[in-house]
Amino acid sequence: MTTLIRLENVNKHYGSFQALNNINLEIKEGEVVCVIGPSGSGKSTMIRCINLLEQYDADGKITVENMSVQKGKDLKQVRAEVGMVFQNFNLFPHLTILQNIMLAPLRVRRMSQEQAETLALSLLGKVGIAEQARKYPAQLSGGQQQRVAIARALAMEPKALLFDEPTSALDPEMVGEVLDVIRKLADTGVTMIIVTHEMGFARQVADRVIFMDCGQIVEQGTPTELFDNPKEVRTRNFLKAVLNH
């Protein structure tokens, strides 16, 4: 399998504080990777560097499909290939659900109005809320909004999807419906990097789990390796803390 995303010696400083410390990572096409770790460990920072929402230090290198992730003309292409789903959904409140999903295909992919609408409706069907198409985001529940956000990211037909704690802002009874959608996506062969605190979910969907602490990747492996047989003390302590919760 070919490598889709590659991070080499990626560092990130906020002033003198180092949020990422020598990150090296390869994500293969079709792989589903879950990222876990304590708060402040740099999980969000790492995945936000992949589509350059954060600028990483100049000595590092990130590529997506062999395109370098940096300011310039390729950036648009990179962002078109890498979708993102945020903790707080970040839907556009002044647009209907349908318009939210159609915007990028229309503007970036230059689809026709009909094409974009057909695509949007079929995606809404996939995430199970086709009947809400004409409503505005504020009229939907949190779980529904996050499913719209996933459909919006999918509308660009990206090679990879980044999730930053997609269920953390949801009421507990809505977590399941969103995880179900992501699980189904995993089966379709989309490459995904998922930052999550849902250990059970990570164990189910991930091909690989990464544990981060203090801006570093401390340990990685298959879910069985990492959850059942962690090698590092820090990993063990973290898992003990969250699983006893």
Partner 1 sequence: MRRTLAFATLIILLLAYPLTSFAQSGTDKEIIVGANIGNVPWEFQDTNGEFIGFEIDLVKEAAKRLNREIKILNVPFNGLFSAVQSGRIDIAISSIGITEKRLESMSFTQPYYDSDQSLTTVKGNGINSLEDLKGQIVAVDTGSTGDMWATANQQKYGFAEIRRYEGLAPAMLDVAIGRVKGYISDIPALLYYTKDKPNLEVVERIPTGGRYALMMAKNKPLVSEVNAVISTLKEEGFINALHKKWFGVPAEPTTSTVEIVDMPSANNGNLLNFFDTFLNKQVFLQTYPMLIAGLITTIQLGLLSIISGLVLGLILSLIRLYAAKPLQAIVKVYIDIFRSIPLLVLLIIIFYALPFIGLNLSPFSAAAVSLTLVSGAYTAEIFRAGIEAIPKGQFEASEALGLGYRHMMGDVILPQAIKIVIPPLTNNCINVIKDTALASVVAMPDLLKQATQAQAVAANPTPLIAAAVIYLMFLLPLVLWVSKLEKRYKKEGAK
Ligand X SMILES: Nc1ncnc2c1ncn2[C@@H]1O[C@H](COP(=O)(O)OP(=O)(O)OP(=O)(O)O)[C@@H](O)[C@H]1O
Q: Which residues bind ligand X (CB under 6 A)?
A: 14, 17, 19, 37, 39-45
Partner from partner 1, Mg ion, ligand X, none contacting 113, C-beta within 5 to 8 A by type: none
Q: How many chain residues bind partner 1 (CB under 8 A)?
A: 23
- Least distance (Å) between residue 17 CB and ligand X: 6
The region, left, alpha or beta by phi > 0 then psi within -120 to 50, assigned to residue 86 is: beta
Give me the residues that bind Mg ion (CB under 5 A), please.
44
CB-side neighbour CA atoms (13 Å) of 14? 8
- Least distance (Å) between residue 1 CB and partner 1: 25
Partner from ligand X, Mg ion, partner 1, none contacting 45, C-beta within 5 to 8 A by type: ligand X
Partner from Mg ion, ligand X, partner 1, none contacting 188, C-beta within 5 to 8 A by type: none
Which residue lies nearer to ligand X by CB, 35 or 64?
35
Helix or strand (DSSP H, E) at 154: helix 142-154
Nearest Cα neighbor of 198 from 162, 223, 233 is 223
In the window 121-150, what residues touch partner 1 (CB under 8 A)? none
Which residue lies nearer to ligand X by CB, 36 or 156?
36
Distance from C-alpha of 188 to C-alpha of 197, rounded to nearest angstrom: 23
In the window 44-83, what residues touch partner 1 (CB under 8 A)? 51, 53, 76-77, 79-80, 82-83
- According to DSSP, the β-strands at 216-221 and 208-213 are antiparallel
Could you tell me which residues come within 8 angstroms of residue 20 by beta carbon, excluding any fewer than 6 positions away? 10, 11, 12, 42, 45, 46, 49, 56, 215
Q: Tell me: does residue 118 bind partner 1 (CB under 8 A).
A: no
Q: Tell me: does residue 88 bind partner 1 (CB under 8 A).
A: yes
Distance from C-alpha of 43 to C-alpha of 58, rounded to nearest angstrom: 19
Using the Cα atoms of residue 233, residue 237, residue 243 and residue 244 in order, give the sign of their dihedral: positive
- The span of 22-30, 84-92, 167-175, 214-222 binding partner 1 (CB under 8 A) equals 84-92
- Least distance (Å) between residue 159 CB and Mg ion: 23
Distance from C-alpha of 82 to C-alpha of 60, rounded to nearest angstrom: 19
170: number of Cβ within 10 Å: 21
Which residue lies nearer to Mg ion by CB, 43 or 234?
43
Which residues lie near partner 1 (CB under 8 A)? 51, 53, 76-77, 79-80, 82-84, 86, 88, 90-94, 103-104, 107-108, 152-153, 156
